[in-house]
Amino acid sequence: MKNNVPISSARKMLNKVPEITLFFWIIKILSTTVGETGADLIDESFNIGLDGLTLIFGTVLVVTLVFQFKSRKYIPGIYWLTVVLISVVGTLITDDLTDNYEIPLEITTVVFTILLAATFAVWYKKEKTLSIHAVDTTKREAYYWIAILFTFSLGTAAGDLLSETLEFGYLVSIAIFGMMIAAVAISHFGFKLYTVAAFWIVYILTRPLGASVGDYLSQDLESGGMGLGSEITSVIFLAIIFATVVYLSVTKKDVIENSYTHDDLMNK
């Protein structure tokens, strides 16, 4: 049965997000890793505290979002810069709450889970779809980026909770989140788990996966890491992200050529 989704009165535009390809997940995981190591590197390099860093990078993010919202179509460079900045800001927010305000990771994990669930609930109630193939109005794009921010903050909190507070360690955490993603993939492709639900579950899980990978690569040997340091890890991953985004900008392999019709959204 088709779902009759009301057409928003907001301005219509081409879809503002990339198609979900292998490149999408590669850059997404790399950006989550950069968010973790980049936030650590920034904190180590500038002696202004997490409050100041969160304010500065939050401001840069807002400026980048202005360009993202003003564009009428998906532009790889602007989109992925926004994702990387949200990854850094989401990490800084969680670290600030934990380190400066001494809010336990158990609480921040629960709070960000509730905020994310509330965002999805309001988004669906207002728009009748959570499909990324329907991010074609300003209102839907706003819901999309709010959800993305909460996924990054939640992922940071959940990843640190598992690997550090519960002392599972980075490698075990990577394995746990990797198996959870594999389980979702099997549920989707083998048992027809709803596509939109599968996407958002994996999107959430790739954040703590990437954070754990970043910590494992950057932390010293005594802490259970490989000892590459935040600077080397961030530079390597940023270089790969940059090269991939340039490739996508040229080839346009991740451009959604046409938005799906409103009646088709619930079947995607």
Q: Which residues contact 155 (CB under 8 A, 6 or more apart)?
A: 32, 90, 204, 205, 206, 207, 208, 210, 211
Identify the residue with better confidence: 260 or 159. 159
pLDDT digit string, tens, across residues 48-91: 888 999 999 999 999 999 999 999 889 999 999 999 999 999 98
Helices 49-70 and 76-99: angle between axes, nearest 10 degrees: 160
- 3-class DSSP state for residue 6? coil
Q: Is the pTM of this model over 0.85?
A: yes
Helices 49-70 and 138-160: angle between axes, nearest 10 degrees: 150
Q: Are 184 and 193 in contact (CB under 8 A)?
A: yes
pLDDT digit string, tens, across residues 209-235: 988 898 899 989 888 899 999 999 999
Mean pLDDT, the chain, rounded, equals 88
Average of pLDDT values for 31-49? 85
Per-residue pLDDT band for 9 (boundaries 50, 70, 90) equals very low
Is it the case that residue 178 has pLDDT exceeding 80? yes
- What is the maximum span of the chain, computed from C-alpha positions, in angstroms? 58
Among 41-45, 65-69, 101-105, 172-176, the range scoring the smallest mean pLDDT is: 41-45
